[in-house]
């Protein structure tokens, strides 16, 4: 038995959406209190804090996030660090907390994510988000993230014959799942026709292929094996944490139709966990645009490159399919407060493994994988969680 196993013992999350009555600090405080209560611990038990937040200075006019979150969580005095990796900030915060315990340095560590994106005009939000791309070769030239993912979609369609209908089925499925998620921003279904007829954003992507601008926060509390067994009868274990990177600029990639950072991080994660692709029962992946879910399931090894659209069209990624993908509703249905997303994926995976996901529960869920991407794939963080 690994003496330094790491478990999730507490989870907390706010509703996602346009939360006008919440401040940045309100969001992280609410999620943190929920997580501490769920873990059954006191604030003084926490030894360290990592918080993922992509661009609080531009979104909310607030920097110095580590100290702020510690202060408003009643944890002033402990080491507190803000972690940033664009839209993968939450996943990286989870990894840093995992490594803190894995090293033997600490027994109870908090990983949180928070973003307040709706307090600035849409144009300002888009400018902040483009900080996740290459400023010199992409943002300065006027390209946006919908356009970057549109390039990837076009190339995938050309190389593999992926259709707009297949990409659109991702949105249909994730909206269907989101209606059962009390935290989700968009709790309603959409039809295939509604997705395909929605306004164009960057051809071939339509409005309903794109994740929204979102406010929200999520927190998980991690513990060493000894502490976890003292506090929980059935803690949820993190059996792998892997990080990989690729070039920041899309034009420097070896291919536009795949994400090499995803492929590399997945291989590392499977090796760490000592499992194979077939052992995974469900996925929470980074569908910032619907094409990204197709790229994710291919890169993670659930089908050959180019077959993700077919897998989706056949219904294999539905909750009752062979490999359920994004039972939470994903970024498209649940929402995408960028620094929070990686942590919210861990919250969903924990609910699934506890059997507490309600009408979106994946049957007999034992092992789940979460995949969090920064930018257009320059960063990818993969975690594998399990019941045993």
Catalytic: 336?
yes
CA distance 92 to 101: 14
Place of tokens 């402990």: 78
CA distance 299 to 59: 31
Provide CB contacts within 8 A for 264, sequence distance 6+: 244, 380
Catalytic: 286?
no
DSSP assignment of 70-110 equals HHHTT-TTS-EEEE-BTBTHHHHHHHHHHHHHHTTS-SEEE
- Stretch (H or E) spanning 296: helix 290-299
- Stretch (H or E) spanning 240: strand 236-245
**Of 303, 336, 380, 383, which one is the catalytic site residue?**
336
DSSP 289: B
Q: Which residues pair with 200 in a beta bridge?
A: 206
Please state whether beta strands 48-52 and 108-116 pair in parallel, antiparallel, or not at all (unpaired): parallel
Encoded tokens for 339: 């620094």
Evaluate whether 212 touches 185 at the Cβ level (below 8 Å): yes
Encoded tokens for 303: 């089908």
Burial class (CB in 10 A: 0-12, 13-18, 19+), 359: exposed
Burial class (CB in 10 A: 0-12, 13-18, 19+), 355: middle
Length of the chain, in residues = 388
Provide CB contacts within 8 A for 149, sequence distance 6+: 202, 205, 288, 289, 291, 292, 376
- Quick one: the chain helix, strand, coil %, rounded to 5? 45, 20, 40
Provide Rg for the chain, Cα atoms. 19
**Of 87, 210, 288, 303, which one is the catalytic site residue?**
87
Q: Which residues pair with 8 in a beta bridge?
A: 222, 236
Residues with a catalytic annotation lie at 87, 336
């Amino acid at each position: 038995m690994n003496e330094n196993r790491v478990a999730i013992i507490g989870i907390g999350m706010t509703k996602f959406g346009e939360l006008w009555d919440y401040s940045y600090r309100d969001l992280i405080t609410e999620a943190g209190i929920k997580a501490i209560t769920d873990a059954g611990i006191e604030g003084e038990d926490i030894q360290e804090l990592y918080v993922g937040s992509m661009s609080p200075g531009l979104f909310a006019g607030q920097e110095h996030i580590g100290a702020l979150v510690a202060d408003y969580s009643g944890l002033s005095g402990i080491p507190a660090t803000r972690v940033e990796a664009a839209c993968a900030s939450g996943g990286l915060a989870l990894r840093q907390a995992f490594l803190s315990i894995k090293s033997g340095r600490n027994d109870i560590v908090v990983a949180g994510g928070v973003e307040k994106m709706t307090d600035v005009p849409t144009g300002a939000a888009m400018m902040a988000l483009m900080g996740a791309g290459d400023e010199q070769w992409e943002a300065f030239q006027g390209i946006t993230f919908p356009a970057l993912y549109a390039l990837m979609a076009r190339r995938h369609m050309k190389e593999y014959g992926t259709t707009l209908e297949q990409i659109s089925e991702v949105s249909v499925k994730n909206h269907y799942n989101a209606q059962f998620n009390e935290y989700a921003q968009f709790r309603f279904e959409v039809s295939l026709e509604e997705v395909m007829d929605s306004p164009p954003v960057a051809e071939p992507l339509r409005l309903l292929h794109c994740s929204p601008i979102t406010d929200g926060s999520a927190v998980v509390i991690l513990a060493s094996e000894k502490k976890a067994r003292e506090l929980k009868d059935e803690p949820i274990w993190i059996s792998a944490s892997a990080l990989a990177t690729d070039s920041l600029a899309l034009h420097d990639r070896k291919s536009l139709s795949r994400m090499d950072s995803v492929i590399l991080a997945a291989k590392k994660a499977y090796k760490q966990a000592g499992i194979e692709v077939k052992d995974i029962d469900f996925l929470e992946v980074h569908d910032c645009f619907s094409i990204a879910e197709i790229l994710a399931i291919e890169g993670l090894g659930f089908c050959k490159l180019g077959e993700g659209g077919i897998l989706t069209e056949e219904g294999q990624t539905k909750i009752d399919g062979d490999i359920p993908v994004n039972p939470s509703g994903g970024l498209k249905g649940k929402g995408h407060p960028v620094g929070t997303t990686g942590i919210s994926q861990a919250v969903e995976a924990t609910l699934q493994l506890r059997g507490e996901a309600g009408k979106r529960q994946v049957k007999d869920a034992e092992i789940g994988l979460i995949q969090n991407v920064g930018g257009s794939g320059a960063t990818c963080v993969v975690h594998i969680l399990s019941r045993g």
